[in-house]
Copies of this chain bind each other. A is one copy, B any other.
């Protein structure tokens, strides 16, 4: 089967491409390399039946061409930053997530491609008084532009599913971690390591450190998604994919310090509940729906974090002051 992977040069996308290729599929990658990295593609492009187009989903002819002779779309490309910086345009998510996804769906409709997997996010839920959060939480209430845009994409899929007989698999991902780092400083782990390289005696931690998050390895995330596509047979499927326990930010800091062998690090907390506006301080997904399909993570959150720290420390060049990660 020929499949298209948008965002295939990303941390999750490139792992997905590798898995699809090893399962015998012909894989076309479309990525604008805005957050994806060419180095993630290098080993993949040596594989037979893997092709890469550098292109942007906001460019309609590019999207339309990418859909020719494709049977299945894995749509992962997105602006991945949940944090909103005040000097950023407020329509970044609207363009790069909603409009981009519309282009994918419309090109699929025109080309007669009907099956799509879409990586959404746990940020659709916003703050929830229910923990862990099930997929059918009453009225998800996103508090970030990123979460709002991803939920809007889900609704577009919902309408296309009904009007044009699409089959959809939506994955709401939470804190997927792995050896590939998109951008230094944008994830808590890479941020801690990066700052400890600079100053091995002091670590500033956003919030009060009690924030609780759950983590899942990229490789397990990809495995869960492919398992769901194979085993979930509704025409519209939504699955939470994430770790099913949690770990505190302070504990993550301890694990980093321990792995780096730093004896005297002073933790300094900025205080407050969440790390940044839009942050959700305690968060865990209910993953019983994906578990009920027969899939279960092999590593818990602390193991995923330990493994990822180890992988990152094996690539010290990631943390050179000149590199962009």
Q: Which of A16-24, A65-73, A137-145 contacts B (4 or more CB under 8 A)?
A: A137-145
Closest to A123 in B: B159
Q: Check: A90 CB closer than 8 A to any chain B CB.
A: yes
Q: Check: A57 CB closer than 8 A to any chain B CB.
A: no
Complex contacts, A155 vs chain B, CB 8 Å: 142, 147-149, 151-152
User: Given A137-B138, A138-B138, A144 and B126 touching (CB < 8 A)?
Assistant: no
Is B148 a contact of A159 with CB atoms below 8 Å? yes
Closest to A155 in B: B148
Q: Check: A285 CB closer than 8 A to any chain B CB.
A: no
A99–B105 Cα distance when bound, in Å, is 18
The contact of A139 among B106, B135, B143, B148, by CB within 8 Å, is B135
> Would you list which residues of chain A between 140 and 170 have a CB under 8 Å from chain B?
140-145, 147-149, 151-152, 155-156, 158-159, 162-163
The contact of A158 among B90, B109, B142, by CB within 8 Å, is B142
Q: Check: A102 CB closer than 8 A to any chain B CB.
A: yes
User: Given A144-B163, A236-B141, A158 and B126 touching (CB < 8 A)?
Assistant: yes
Q: Check: A278 CB closer than 8 A to any chain B CB.
A: yes
Q: Check: A84 CB closer than 8 A to any chain B CB.
A: yes
Q: Check: A261 CB closer than 8 A to any chain B CB.
A: no
Q: Check: A43 CB closer than 8 A to any chain B CB.
A: no
Is A158 a contact of B135 with CB atoms below 8 Å? no
Complex contacts, A158 vs chain B, CB 8 Å: 126, 141-143, 148
Complex contacts, A277 vs chain B, CB 8 Å: 162-163
Give the copy number.
2
Q: Check: A255 CB closer than 8 A to any chain B CB.
A: no
> Would you list which residues of chain A between 90 and 124 have a CB under 8 Å from chain B?
90-91, 94, 98-99, 102, 105-106, 109
A73–B98 Cα distance when bound, in Å, is 25
Complex contacts, A152 vs chain B, CB 8 Å: 98, 148, 151-152, 155-156
Complex contacts, A84 vs chain B, CB 8 Å: 163
- Shortest CB distance A223–B (Å): 25
Return 15 A-B CB contacts under 8 Å, by A number: A90-B102, A90-B106, A90-B109, A91-B102, A98-B152, A139-B238, A145-B159, A147-B155, A147-B159, A148-B156, A148-B159, A151-B152, A151-B155, A152-B152, A162-B277
The 7 closest A-B pairs by CB, nearest first: A152-B152, A148-B155, A143-B162, A148-B159, A136-B138, A145-B159, A136-B139
Apart from A143-B163, A147-B155, A151-B151, 17 more pairs, CB < 8 Å: A84-B163, A90-B109, A98-B98, A136-B138, A137-B138, A139-B139, A139-B140, A141-B236, A144-B162, A145-B156, A147-B159, A148-B152, A148-B159, A151-B155, A152-B156, A163-B277, A163-B278
Mark A residues whose CB is within 8 Å of B: 84, 90-91, 94, 98-99, 102, 105-106, 109, 126, 135-145, 147-149, 151-152, 155-156, 158-159, 162-163, 236, 238, 277-278
